[in-house]
Amino acid sequence: MGLLTILKKNKLKEKEIRLLMLGLDNAGKTTILKKINGEDISTISPTLGFNIKTMELDGYKLNIWDVGGQKSIRSYWRNYFEQTDGLIWVIDSADRKDRFELCKKELLSLLKEERIAGASLLIFANKQDLPSALSKDQIQEFLELDTIESCHWNIQSCSAYTGENLVKGMKWITNDIRSRIFLLD
């Protein structure tokens, strides 16, 4: 019995979930994080560092990793003590066409990563409060989400500014993860 088995067991017992928040720059990741953490969102500058916030939802402890605009997010996939349970991919629904292309490319290459196979994927179609925003169905079609077979996924329209649907999305991913990991607890 090594330390790792101990930790694995602990994590299940303590109902901890590790989420990674990703997306292109300016998609609104930090705003979402701050909003659901009840912080002031009036002054947010591009994330230079990365933040881990812990919050509780339905008795589960969510450790949310906001990795910001890191070039290489590989470093955050996995560490010695924990593995990523879920991914939150944030999209600026009112973004330019070429940025959507980029977004699609990044997301697809992300899903090829073997180490996240099995993690749940939540896509936040953010900035729905803007008039030019695409609907979640349009985005779903554009990103060809229906071709994803490697993991459980869901797309949720939301607005970090108003807070609309944020909790709904978080609940989905928590439920999905707990139905995988914490069933019967």
Residue list for the binding site for GTP: 23-30, 69, 126-129
How near is the Cβ of 131 to another protein at its closest, in Å? 20
140 tagged catalytic: no
Find out whether 17 and 54 touch, Cβ atoms under 8 Å. no
Min dist CB 57 to another protein, Å, is 4
Binding-site entries for Mg(2+): 30, 47
Helix (H) and strand (E) counts for the chain?
6, 6
Task: Give 16 or 106: the residue with its C-beta nearer to another protein.
Answer: 16
Provide the binding-site residues for another protein, judged by CB under 8 A.
1, 3, 6-7, 35-40, 48-52, 54-57, 61-62, 65, 70-72, 74-82, 118, 146, 148-154, 156, 162-163, 166-168, 170, 172, 175-176, 179-184
Nearest of 64, 78, 61 to residue 10 by alpha carbon: 61
Q: Among residues 70, 83, 138, 140, which one is catalytic?
A: 70
Nearer to another protein, 56 or 98 (CB): 56
73 Cβ contact list (under 8 Å, min separation 6):
20, 22, 67
Residue 98 or residue 149: which is nearer to another protein going by CB?
149
CA-nearest of 107, 111, 112, 70 to 91 is 107
Q: For residue 19, what are its two tokens? A: 């989420």
**Smallest distance, another protein to C-beta of residue 8, A:** 10
Binding-site residue positions: 23-30, 47, 69, 126-129
Rounded least distance, CB 97 to another protein, Å: 26
Q: Rounded to an integer, what distance in angstroms lies between the CA atom of residue 123 and that of residue 54?
A: 20
Long-range contacts, 160-163 (Cβ 8 Å, 24+): 160/28, 160/31, 160/32, 160/35, 160/41, 160/126, 160/127, 161/31, 161/35, 161/41, 161/127, 161/129, 162/129, 163/35, 163/36
Q: Nearer to another protein by C-beta: 142 or 182?
A: 182
Residues annotated as catalytic (active site), given as ranges:
70
